[in-house]
Amino acid sequence: MILTLAFRNLFHDRIRLAVTLVGILFSIVLVAVQLGLYLGASNMITANIDHAKADLWIAAYGAKSFEDGGMLLTPRERHQALATPGVKAVIPLVVRFAEWRKPEGGSTRVVLVGTDAEDGGLVPFDLVEGTWEDIKAPEAIAVDKTYLNELGIKGLGDTAQIANGRVRVRALTDGVRSFTQSPYAYTTLNRSRALFGDSDNTTFYLVQLQPGANVQKVQHELASRLEGAEVLTHEEFRDRSLKQWLFRTGAGVALIGGALLGSLVGTVIVAQTLYSSTKDHLSEFATLRALGSSSGYIHKVILAQAGISAVVGYLLGISIALTILVFSRNTALPMVMTPGLAFWLFALTVGMCAISALSAIVKVTKIDPATVFNR
Amino acid sequence: MSSEPVLEAIDIVKELGSGAGKVRAVKGASLTLVPGELTLLMGPSGSGKTTLLSILGCILTPTSGTLRIAGVDTTKLGPEEMADLRRKHMGFIFQSYNLFPTLTALENVRIALDVRGQKGFAAANRSEEVLRDVGLAYRLKSYPGNLSGGEQQRVAVARAIASSPSIVLADEPTAALDGENGHAVMALLARIAKEQHRSVLAVTHDPRTLSYADRVVRIEDGRIVGEERRPEGLDAPEIADLTKRRKAHA
Ligand SMILES: Nc1ncnc2c1ncn2[C@@H]1O[C@H](COP(=O)(O)OP(=O)(O)OP(=O)(O)O)[C@@H](O)[C@H]1O
Ligand SMILES: [Mg+2]
């Protein structure tokens, strides 16, 4: 009967129910989009780091992100690292902004990534056309399909100019988007060095450890041996990149702020409608109390009202959020939805509605069953 | 027929309001209810009938005095324990019915069982049974808004007796009803007292209700000023009439 009464109380006033649901729905959509974009941005920022097989990253001192390394590390650091106990392999990786001159004129910036797949460090991922072998061909390079327009090319076989040399597209990735809006271009280590007119420097060394080696210990040892370089764990480097792009630029703050605002607005709307619904049904709650119901019983009715609103509002909200997700797929910042995020959104909705129920519960706690006779 | 009292109120005093607006609504009233009797509490407006009824029903706590329900002293009980007593021993009937407008007749009765932890089929069957008993078998699925005043009050009576309380308290149960419906509800209350052996106390202004009473208690200005009792063994003609009609029906 608790659920029945809660349902009837809710559906009794359809307009108020609509307001409640729209409130929850907007709030869920807002939070889902903001957090979905945040997740999307995070994924973009860390995709290359996550795909690299490295226990530790050696970067030039002060490197702020994957894209911000320069080419300051020399073979000397590599030899020092290799001589450190516990280290199995030290794999060079070049990452650097470069000028991309379009075949038909004009130019844009790309992030050129130089890596040798054979080394087992970073292997270009999500290739949909061509293979890593194709990238080894002279002048070869891989870019992402979704950026062809911006790069002023049509597809495989087209040529362009990067820094000092000509490149030809031999492979295509799909969906490897860049948060900086400068597309990633993948080539071999040596070609990337040649394009930048450099022979043996590098941006990062990916350090792989021997089985059983203690990551922290090796990190500490490396740090003390290498001057002017920093040694970061996978997680540390990831966090640093996220911090750089999401928080130094304010983008993440705006997204998280939007999400907080969304949940706040939702809570206020639901609290308001639930409170006014409770006020309208106060005489019924007083009757219930006079009939001998415990206050817990009445609280359950109100919580059930909140819970039903939460479930219905969530289902509507998440459907709209998923629709938005589909439409955002090929934009500069695609939204991401994971089962985890969907679950947290549901938890948030339920929490929001439970908090909203508090004001109504406080109101109903004050009812005097004696009022039943004075009507 | 004499039985142990189910309710004993001794020297009940109740002050309402506060400060300058403080009113002594009940000024030392004593009253006992025994099973099988319909008692009427009569008195002028403002004499404290509703206040006393609320105290007897464990809805208000007296300022002083003792109230015993089924032998249990209620003096030191908190709100949840009072609710517990209401749940265990009381059925209430109100002047304006106080039905839940969004629930059907059947559901209105069921919810009174639900708050007592009686759920499922048994509760549904019991609700249907009491509604049948008050003559509303054909109205189970109707909402209060679609019922006449008399029908609504009969739903309220069904709700009050569904859990078989030992005490049924009614505040002006006929005040909003026309003559015929008023008589029907009083006959019902008298029958509940007699056949189901409950204590029924009804506050009323209405002289038409007198003929149903086993006992009439008069209250004036917060004090019990008199009590009349129908001679034993004599049924009110209306009760006899109703019993006859029910037998003919069966
Ligand atoms: N909440 C309150 N605060 C102050 N005084 C009150 C309050 N409720 C009732 N009273 C007063 O207490 C007295 C008794 O009221 P009560 O409602 O018990 O009378 P009653 O006999 O039921 O009257 P009626 O026949 O009009 O229903 C009245 O003088 C009334 O004005
Ligand atoms: Mg009154």
In chain B, what residues touch A293 (CB-CB under 8 Å)? 83, 87, 115
B238 has a pLDDT exceeding 80 = no
In chain A, the N- to C-terminal Cα span, in Å, equals 25
- Measured CA to CA, the distance from residue A65 to residue A243 in angstroms comes to 9
Q: Let me know if residue B61 belongs to a domain.
A: no
Other CB atoms within 10 Å distance of the CB of residue A155: 11
* Tokens, residue A262: 């969304």
> Does residue B23 have its Cβ closer than 6 Å to ligand 1?
yes
A 10 A CB-CB count for B147 gives: 19
Say if residue B245's pLDDT is above 70: no
Find the B57 Cα to ligand 2 centroid distance in Å.
Answer: 14
Q: For residue B232, what pLDDT is reported?
A: 62
Percent of chain B's residues with pLDDT above 70: 91
B177 located within any domain: yes
- State yes or no: pLDDT of B1 exceeds 70: no
Nearest beta carbon to residue B83 from set A1, A4, A293: A293
Among chain A residues, the shortest Cα distance to B54 is held by A370
pLDDT in tens, A339-364: 999 999 999 889 888 888 888 899 88
Q: Is residue A51 part of a domain?
A: no
Best mutation site among B12, B15, B16, B56 for ligand 1 pocket (most ligand atoms within 8 Å of CB): B16
* Tens digit of each residue's pLDDT (9 = 90 or more) over B46-99: 999 999 999 999 999 999 999 999 999 998 899 999 999 999 999 999 999 999
What CATH number did the domain enclosing B92 receive?
Answer: 3.40.50.300
Assess whether pLDDT exceeds 70 at residue B14.
yes
Q: What is the pLDDT of residue B250?
A: 46
Question: What DSSP line would sit under B170-204, residue for residue?
Answer: EESTTTTS-HHHHHHHHHHHHHHHHHTT-EEEEEE
Structural domains of chain B, count: 1
Whether B206 has a pLDDT exceeding 90, the answer reads no
User: Would you say residue B232 lies in a domain?
Assistant: yes
Query: Does a structural domain hold residue B182?
Result: yes
pLDDT reported for residue B233? 53
Spatial CA neighbour of B161 closest among B91, B235, B81: B91
Which burial class, exposed, middle or buried, applies to A223 when counting CB atoms under 10 A from its CB (0-12, 13-18, 19+)? middle
Q: What is the 3-state secondary structure (H, E, C) of chain A?
A: CHHHHHHHHHHHCHHHHHHHHHHHHHHHHHHHHHHHHHHHHHHHHHHHHHHCCCCEEEEECCCCCCCCCCCCECHHHHHHHHCCCCEEEEEEEEEEEEEEECCCCCEEEEEEEECCHHHCCCCCCCEEECCHHHHCCCCEEEEEHHHHHHHCCCCCCCEEEECCEEEEEEEEECCCCCCCCCCEEEECHHHHHHHCCCCCCECEEEEEECCCCCHHHHHHHHHHHCCCEEEEEHHHHHHHHHHHHHHHCCHHHHHHHHHHHHHHHHHHHHHHHHHHHHHHCHHHHHHHHHCCCCHHHHHHHHHHHHHHHHHHHHHHHHHHHHHHHHHHCCCCCCCCCCHHHHHHHHHHHHHHHHHHHHHHHHHHHCCCHHHHHCC
Work out which ligand 1 atom sits closest to the CA atom of B53: 18
> What pLDDT score was predicted for residue A123?
87
pLDDT > 80? residue A11: yes
Q: Give the pLDDT band (50/70/90) at residue A369.
A: confident
Residue B16 belongs to a domain: no
User: Distance between CA atoms of A336 and A32, rounded to whole angstroms?
Assistant: 9
- Model confidence at B17: pLDDT above 90: no
Q: What is the pLDDT of residue B242?
A: 46
The DSSP secondary-structure symbol of B234 reads: P
Query: What's the pLDDT at A371?
Result: 86
Domain's final residue, options A227, A262, A290:
A227
Do A305 and A221 lie in one domain? The reply is no
Q: Does the residue B167 lie in any domain?
A: yes
At residue B225, does pLDDT exceed 90? yes
Q: How large is the average pLDDT for residues A271-277?
A: 85
Type and span of the H or E element at B41: strand B37-42
pLDDT tens digits, residue range A46-68?
A: 999 999 999 999 999 888 899 88
Give yes or no: residues A147 and A193 share one domain.
yes
What is the pLDDT confidence band of residue A374, given thresholds at 50, 70 and 90?
Answer: low
pLDDT of residue A252: 84
- Residue A236 located in a structural domain: no
B38 φ/ψ angles, rounded to the nearest 5 degrees: -100, 115
Same domain, A79 and A176: yes
Is A74 found in the same domain as A27?
A: no
> Do residues A261 and A362 both lie within one domain?
yes
Cα A375 to averaged position of ligand 1 atoms, centre (Å): 12
Q: Centre a 10 Å sphere on the Cβ of residue A128 and count the other Cβ atoms it contains.
A: 11
Question: What's the confidence (pLDDT) of residue B235?
Answer: 54
- What single DSSP character describes residue B147? S
- Residue A295 burial (10 A CB sphere; 0-12, 13-18, 19+): middle
Does residue B236 carry a pLDDT above 70?
no
Tell me what the mean pLDDT of segment A4-29 comes to: 90
Q: For residue B210, what are the domain limits?
A: 36-53+76-214+225-249
* Contact yes or no for A26/A262 (Cβ under 8 A): yes
Question: Can you tell me which atom of ligand 1 is nearest the CA of B51?
Answer: 18
> pLDDT value at position A250?
83
Instruction: Classify residue B15: in a domain, yes or no.
Output: no
Pair A193, A155 in one domain = yes
Contact A295 B79 (CB under 8 A): yes
Residue B248: pLDDT over 80: no
User: Ligand 1 centre from B206 Cα, in Å?
Assistant: 18
Using the predicted structure, report yes or no on whether residue A297 has a pLDDT greater than 80: yes
Confidence of residue B208 (pLDDT cuts 50, 70, 90): confident
Looking at the fold, whether A265 and A294 belong to one and the same domain comes out as yes
Query: What pairing do the DSSP bridges indicate for beta strands B7-16 and B23-33?
Result: antiparallel
A contact test, residue of B100, B161, B168, B171 with most A CBs within 10 A:
B100
User: Ligand 1 pocket: which of B47, B95, B221, B223 to mutate (most atoms <8 Å of CB)?
Assistant: B47
> For all residues of chain A together, what is the average pLDDT?
90
User: Whose CA is closest to B63, among B21, B19, B20, B28?
Assistant: B28
Q: Buried (b) or exposed (e) across A3-21, using 16+ Cβ within 10 A?
A: ebbbebbbeebeebbebbb
> Looking at residues A253-265, what average pLDDT do you find?
87
Nearest CA to A47 out of A189, A222, A242 is that of: A242
Q: Do residues A223 and A232 make contact, with C-beta atoms less than 8 angstroms apart?
A: no
Give mean pLDDT, residues A73-101: 92
A72, A206: one domain: yes
What local confidence, expressed as pLDDT, does residue B176 receive? 87
Residues A34 and A67 in one domain: no
Strand, coil or helix: B139: helix
Q: ipTM for the complex?
A: 0.88
The whole-angstrom distance between residue A80's C-alpha and the CA centroid of its chain comes to 36
Q: Tell me the C-alpha distance between A371 and A48, whole Å.
A: 68
Q: How confident is the model at residue A228 (pLDDT cuts 50, 70, 90)?
A: confident
Instruction: Answer whether residue B166 shows pLDDT above 60.
Output: yes
Answer left, alpha or beta for residue B135, where phi above 0 means left and psi between -120 and 50 means alpha. left
Mean local confidence (pLDDT), B14-25: 91
Residues 6+ away with beta carbon under 8 Å from B186: B173, B174, B202, B208, B209, B212, B238
Two tokens, residue A81: 């690292």
Alpha carbons A114 and A124: distance in angstroms, whole number: 10
- Those residues with Cβ within 8 angstroms of residue B196's Cβ, 6 or more apart along the chain or in another chain: B161, B164
Whether residues A35 and A82 fall in one domain: no
Say if the Cβ atoms of A5 and B102 lie within 8 Å: yes
Ligand 2 centroid distance, CA of B42 (Å): 10
| B70 domain-assigned | no
Residues A296 and A370 in one domain: yes
Identify whether residues A169 and A77 lie together within a single domain.
yes
* Residue of B54, B110, B113, B126 to mutate, testing the A interface (most A Cβ within 10 Å of its Cβ): B54
Residue A331 sits in which domain range?
2-44+250-374
pLDDT score for B212:
92
Residue at which a domain ends, from A192, A227, A262: A227
Put simply, the answer to whether B94 touches A372 (Cβ < 8 Å) is yes
The three state secondary structure string of B212-227 is HCCEEEEEECCEEEEE
Residue B48 beta carbon below 6 angstroms from any ligand 1 atom? yes
Q: Which two tokens stand for residue A209?
A: 């450890």
SS3 B15: strand
Q: Do A288 and B111 touch (CB under 8 A)?
A: yes
Residue B34's pLDDT band (cuts 50, 70, 90)? very high
* Position A34 pLDDT exceeds 70: yes
